[in-house]
Amino acid sequence: MRTQVGIIGAGPAGLLLSHLLHLRGIESVVFETRSREQIESTIRAGVLEQGTMDLLVESGVGARMQAEGALHHGFELAFEGKHRRIDLTGLTGHSITVYAQHEVIKDLVAARVAAGGELRFNVSDTSLHDLDTATPSIRYRHNGEPCELQCDFVIGCDGSQGVSRAAIPQALRQDYERVYPFGWFGILCEGKPSSDELIYARHERGFALVSTRSANVQRMYFQCDPKDSVDNWSDDRIWAELHARVDSDDGRKVVDGKIFQKNIVGMRSFVSTTMQYGRLFLAGDAAHIVPPTGAKGMNLAVADVRVLTDALRAYYDEDRNDLLASYSETALKRIWRAEHFSYWMTRMMHRLDDASPFEQRLQVAELEYVTTSRVAATAMAENYVGVAPV
C-alpha cells in the first residue's frame, strides 16, 4: 500500500494531524498498537489552552468540548491557609477548558471514521525504514499478517516508549531530562465540586490539585513518593491529606466523596532534539514530556501538529520544503517556553526535600508576588492560557 503521510500513534497528536491533513486534501494512515476501546477508555486529565480550543472548533471537532467541557476563566493558588485567584480572562482576554484527553480522542476518532479515514488498530512489530530517502516505509503486523506501507513522510506520534524517536540515530539527537523525586497520587471520586475553578495548593506537606471532571465526578491529586503504593492509602487517609493541604483558614474545605479510582504517576521533564530526521518528524510525547503542573502536555502536542500541518500543506500545495526543514527549530521555541513554565510551576508549588528552610520561604514569597503583582500574575496567566510570546 501507499499513502502520502504515515502516522504512528493514535493519541491526540496523531489523530488531530490526520484530521487536519484530511481537511487539506492530504491522505494519511494512522497506526496504533492498542485497540480503539483502549485508547478511548484510558482516563487522562486535560486542560485545553485557548489555541487548542480554537483549533478544535475551527476544524469541526469541538462541539462536544463546548457542550460538555468546563470553561474556566481563572484558577486559584492556595498557600499559607489562604486562596488567591489568578484571573486568566481579565489578565489576557482568554480562558481554558477542562476536558479530558480521552474525550478529545473520542471526538477525533469519530471524525476520522465518519470521513472514511484509515485507522489501523492492534498493530504490532512496527518498524521504520529508508527514512533518509524519498520513499520511507512502515512495516508492521496486522491481524497476524506482515504488512508494509510506503509513504512520502512518517510522523512519529507514538509517545516516549514508541519506535519513532529511537529511529533517529543517537549521534544526531540530544536528549535533555529532569526526573523529579516526587509523583502525583490521583483520585477520581463521586461528589459535588469543591470549587468552581482549579485549585493549585502549596503546603508544607506537599502539593495538591483540585479539579472538576463533571457536576458529579471530581479529580484530585496530591504530591507523593513515586515509589509508594495505592494500597497504602485508605480513603480516610487520602481525605485527611487533601484537607490538610487545601482547606483554607476562612472555612473553605475540600468536599469528600466516594473514591472509585486511585493511581500514582511519576513526573519528569524531557526534550529530544532534533525532532526530525530525513522524512521522519516527531510530534507530542515522542519528542517532549512536561510535568503536569503547567497543564501543557496535550497543548504542546497540538502546537506541534499545527506547525506540521502548515509545513505539509506548503509542501504539497506550493512545492515548498522550507517549513519542513525548519520544523524542529520552530516547534522547539514553544516547547522550551512550556518546559520552563512547567518547571517553574513545579518548583514553586511542590515540597522540595532538598530545599532549605530559606528556600521554602522563597517559594511562599514568590506565591505572594504572583498573586499581588498584576505584572507577575499576567506573565503566569499568559503562559497558562498559551498566549505568551515565544
Catalytic residue among 99, 203, 292, 315: 292
CA distance 107 to 16: 10
Please report the DSSP string for 47-90 in residue order. Answer: EE-HHHHHHHHHTT--HHHHHHSEEESEEEEEETTEEEEEEHHH
Exposed/middle/buried for residue 168 (C-beta within 10 Å: 0-12, 13-18, 19+): buried
340 is catalytic: no
Please report the DSSP string for 138-205 in residue order. Answer: EEEEETTEEEEEE-SEEEE-S-TTSSTGGGS-GGG-EEEEEEEEEEEEEEEEES--S-SS-EEEE-TT
Q: Grid coordinates 473520542 are at which residue?
A: 106
CA distance 34 to 165: 19
Using alpha carbons, select from 142, 185, 134, 131 the residue that is nearest to residue 29. 142
292 is catalytic: yes
Using alpha carbons, select from 162, 139, 168 the residue that is nearest to residue 34. 162
H helices of the chain, in order, are: 12-23, 36-41, 50-58, 63-68, 88-92, 101-114, 235-246, 297-318, 322-325, 327-349, 357-372, 374-385
Could you tell me the strand order of the sheet in which 96-98 lies?
A: 47-48, 96-98, 70-72
Spatial neighbors of 344 by CB under 8 A, at least 6 apart, are 294
112 near 15, Cβ under 8 Å?
Answer: yes
- Between strands 82-87 and 137-142, the pairing is unpaired
176 is catalytic: no
CA distance 98 to 80: 26
Catalytic residue among 140, 180, 200, 315: 200
Spatial neighbors of 86 by CB under 8 A, at least 6 apart, are 74, 75, 76, 77, 370, 371, 377, 380, 381, 384
262 is catalytic: no
316 is catalytic: no
CA 79, 84, 89, 90 torsion-angle sign:
negative
Catalytic residue among 99, 277, 327, 384: 384
Catalytic residue among 296, 315, 327, 350: 296
Supply the residues annotated as catalytic.
72, 200, 292, 296, 384
